[in-house]
Structures are given as structure tokens and as C-alpha cells.
Amino acid sequence: KARERGLAPLTDLHLRPGFHPLEIAQDTSKLAAWLDANRPDIVHVHNSHDHLIGVLAVRRAARRPVLVRTNHKGAPLPRGRGNRWLMKQADAYMSFSKTGLAEDIRRFRLNAAACSVIHTAVDLALFDPAKADRAAGRSALGLAPEHIAFGIVARIQRHRKWHELLAGFKQAHARNPMLRL
């Protein structure tokens, strides 16, 4: 998608989670060189590992871009010396959770003026259970009144163990054929 929009993504960085000093040094050098060659205004990082590489590269760059960290998990970042140091290096911080953001501001003594909540793109009022026409919704899904329905909303990724969900559902459905996933 980046290439379709005329952007050239960096694809030769390791960015492997965990502490791999040689890879971190190599990634830092490559990113710092890219920053010097391209002079972006913002470096946006999303987890502790790329935050570390971003901090180290930004510090080495001839012209220091703004470093922005986003927490996508909705929960506050874990306490610890590493996160405490990383968060002090961020110029701005964003979170998808108002309460998580408030806790991170308190926990890491962040400048609240440089922090913001990313509001959901979903109009939650459309999914207010109090206003839902449950019968119409069940009918649209082909569910009879006697069916017991449950579901999950998430991106499908291996680490989320979808196979276990499906295997568990198969066992439960064998015991109660009214279950629907």
C-alpha cells in the first residue's frame, strides 16, 4: 500500500522484539541514515522495541524530528525502568483509551498537553444494546430464538489462537447443538 501511494518503505530493518544488541545497533544506524537523508518531521513508534530504535536513531540524526509514541492496546503501558526511560524521550503520546492515557500520564509523569486520545472511528451509538432490535439482528444472522449465539471481534492473527476457539466451539456444539458462533 505504501508503494502504491508513492512511498518507499524501509524493509531491511530487523525490528525483532526482544533484546538483540547487534540488530538494534544495525537498525538504529539504518534508521538514523534514513532520517538524515529524508529529513522527516515526525517519527511515529508503536511499541517498546521500535520506540527504543526510534529514540536512538532520532538522537543520532543531524536534525531531530518529533518522536511520537502510540499505545494501541487500550491499557496503560507496563511499569518499569525501560518504559519510564522511553516515555521521557517521547515528544508526544497517543492512546486509544482515555483511562489508559490518564494512568500513563500519572505513571510516567508525562506532559498532559503533549498527550491525546485517539477516538474510535466507530460510532458506538449505532451499537447501543438498549436501542438494538435484537430480533431483527438475530434474524439477519439466520438465528432462531432458541439459538445461543456468541461472537468475537478481532483481527485474525496466529498468536490469538483462533484454532483453540474453533476446537472449543466444536466440542461445546457437540454437547449443545443450539450454540452458534
User: What is the pLDDT, as a whole number, of residue 98?
Assistant: 93
How far apart are the C-alpha atoms of 172 and 33, rounded to whole Å?
A: 55
Q: What percent of the chain has pLDDT over 90?
A: 73
Tell me: the pLDDT tens digits for 60-101?
A: 999 999 999 999 988 999 999 999 999 999 999 999 999 999
Q: What is the mean pLDDT of the chain?
A: 92
User: What is the pLDDT, as a whole number, of residue 7?
Assistant: 87
Residue type, 125: A
Higher pLDDT residue, 66 or 159? 66
Chain center to CA of 37: 28
Asked if the model's pLDDT at residue 158 lies above 90, the reply is no
What share of residues in the chain are helix, strand, coil (percent, to 5)?
Answer: 50, 10, 40
User: What is the pLDDT, as a whole number, of residue 132?
Assistant: 82
User: What is the pLDDT, as a whole number, of residue 143?
Assistant: 95
User: What is the pLDDT, as a whole number, of residue 57?
Assistant: 97
Arithmetic mean of pLDDT, 160-169? 90
Arithmetic mean of pLDDT, 133-155? 89
Nearest to 41 by CA among 55, 58, 59: 58
If DSSP codes are grouped into helix, strand and coil, which group holds residue 74? coil
User: What is the pLDDT, as a whole number, of residue 35?
Assistant: 97
| pLDDT bucket at 18, cuts 50 / 70 / 90 | confident
Asked if the model's pLDDT at residue 26 lies above 90, the reply is yes
Tell me: the pLDDT tens digits for 100-143?
A: 999 999 999 999 999 999 987 888 788 888 888 888 889 999 99
Asked if the model's pLDDT at residue 179 lies above 90, the reply is yes
Asked if the model's pLDDT at residue 160 lies above 90, the reply is no
